Amino acid sequence: MPEPLCYEDIKLIAHVIARDQAVATRKLLTGSNILSVPGLATVLLPSEKGRRCDTCHRLQTDERVLRRCTGCASYWYCDAKCQNTQWRSHHKRICKIYNQFISSPQFQALQAHEKMDSLLLSHMVAQMSATTFPLPTEDDSSQLSTFVSLLPGPIENVVPPPICPISPMPSKELLSALYSRFGNNNFVVHSHLTTFGHGVFPLASRLFNHSCVPNAAAKYTLSPAKTVNMEVIALRDILPDEEICLPYLDPALLQSRHQMFELTYGFKCNCSSCIFLRNLGRMPEPPKDPLEISTLSKQLREYVGIEEHIGLILPSPSMEAISHSLLPVLHESYMGELSETFSRSSHEGQYAIALDVGITLLALYILIYPSNYPQIGMHLLELAKTRWNEAISSDVRGDEETVMKEQVRVFLTFARRVLMVLGPEGDEYGPLQEIQTLEDLLNQ
């Protein structure tokens, strides 16, 4: 057996159900970088191809126009450095055959997510040395051997999708061993909460179990000529010996997540939120009547204490203590409806409606997500922009302008406070820069 994994701030110890768990070896402060790992393999969403470099995944800009691989014309790079990095890593083994493969009937017959898996598996295999076929050995400390040491998903004998042919082809045994670990171990790679690809980060998969009330979150950083880097950040102070968990799924999937855990990950989540929701049973649906909707929204805001606290600190209410009449806010459709109304009304310039619904949505986020969860920070920024747009569209002056500026400032202060915990990530000109730009405008 390989040596137990141990890092400066974390160590792996046994877990009753999930084999192992990563616990803190000392107190980790909010915002600490717990782990930083490069991706073993990544793949872009089809919609991102040609918009992002296939190596470093940075977006094309006016100054950095992507250039295509002259061999296949299907991979795009920032420059020769990015191209060379990927050429050496795996592209040289698939360049000639890539177009024929993706236009083949067997590839075309795959569903969208299977196509992503097929290309991710192709990238992974093409960068393996033929000497590691059929299986990497256990004493090898490479990322690949960590990957094959991961727990496989719950479905037995899962058939891998076809992969881009390379020479020599890996054994069926190796492909099955790799693919059986895709569903429950791989990550969605995102920038400021927008997904742009999928990736394999074996060490992070080996270390972190799931919780719907996670104390850490993953972010991705993009640097020239490098593969995407995953960083795991503490969302709050983590005590010595406390387990460090990531959210595998959006904690807002209050009802549908239970089935996804069982089908995709093969476990029943026993976090405090899941136990509470399971004990409640069927969740009452949110009302349809406008008056009842407005009463529910008022009640939620009062429970969370959003109005009183927004000027001081963000509240941290307990979901488990809510009254029976508030339960419909925990129906998954409630957040969906609030988000849709918020986006639609702010897009259509109905700023007063957007702000009203947006504050209720903020209360719901605060109730459901753990402290410093990035969704809360991003939403606070959206509220600041909505309030700002409302003011400039109505050309306010005098006291009204002062009040408006103060409200925008409060939203921005909280947005920064939350988003600073995760810190800079993803694409250039992200929310932290947007906050700065708005603050500069306010100070003019």
Ligand X SMILES: C[S@@+](CC[C@H](N)C(=O)[O-])C[C@H]1O[C@@H](n2cnc3c(N)ncnc32)[C@H](O)[C@@H]1O
Summarize as ranges the residues that interact with ligand X (CB under 6 A).
Answer: 15, 17-20, 150-151, 184-185, 205-206, 209-210, 265-267, 269
- Beta-carbon contacts of 340 under 8 Å, excluding residues fewer than 6 positions away, are none
Query: Considering only CA atoms, which of 161, 167, 136, 160 is closest in space to residue 149?
Result: 136
Three-state SS sequence of 376-402? HHHHHHHHHHHHHHHHHHHCCCHHHHH
Minimum CB separation from ligand X for residue 15, in Å? Answer: 6
- Cβ-based neighbours of 16, under 8 Å, separated by 6 or more: none
* C-beta separation of 15 from 209 below 8 A: yes
CA distances from 203 to 164, 185, 187, 289 (A): 26, 10, 12, 50
Query: What is the Cα–Cα distance from 77 to 54, expressed in whole angstroms?
Result: 6
Nearest distance from C-beta of residue 204 to ligand X, angstroms: 8
| Min CB(18)–ligand X separation in Å | 3
Least spacing, CB of residue 206 vs ligand X, in Å? 5
Cα 68 to chain centroid distance, Å, stands at 28
Q: Min. distance of Cβ 265 from ligand X in angstroms?
A: 4
| Tokens 């904690």 found at | 251
The distance of closest approach from Cβ of residue 380 to ligand X in the complex, given in angstroms and rounded to an integer, is 29
**Is-contact 121 160, C-beta < 8 A?**
yes
Q: What's the N-to-C CA distance of the chain in angstroms?
A: 63
Minimum distance of ligand X from residue 40's CB (angstroms):
14
The number of residues in the chain equals: 444
171 versus 272: smaller Cβ distance to ligand X: 272
Smaller CB distance to ligand X: residue 213 or 354?
213
All residues at 6 or more sequence positions from 229 whose CB lies less than 8 Å from its CB, including other chains = 36, 37, 38, 39, 220, 221, 222, 223
Q: For residues 22 and 56, which CB has a smaller minimum distance to ligand X in the complex?
A: 22
Residue 258 has φ and ψ, to the nearest 5°, of -60, -45
Smallest separation, CB 268 to ligand X (Å): 7
Q: Residue 135 or 353: which CB sits closer to ligand X?
A: 135
Min. distance of Cβ 274 from ligand X in angstroms?
9
**Of 183 and 358, CB closest to ligand X:** 183
171 versus 270: smaller Cβ distance to ligand X:
270
CB of 209 or CB of 372, closer to ligand X: 209
State whether residue 255 is helix, strand or coil.
coil
**Smaller CB separation from ligand X, 136 or 358:** 136
Of 81 and 113, the one with the shorter C-beta distance to ligand X is: 113
Q: Specify the residue, 101 or 267, whose C-beta has the smaller distance to ligand X.
A: 267
Q: Which residues pair with 12 in a beta bridge?
A: 22
H or E, element range at 77: strand 76-77
Using DSSP's 3-state secondary structure scheme, residue 99 falls into: helix
Structure tokens at 31: 């915002």
Q: Around Cβ 44, how many Cβ atoms within 10 Å?
A: 21
As measured in angstroms, the least distance from the Cβ of 271 to ligand X is 7
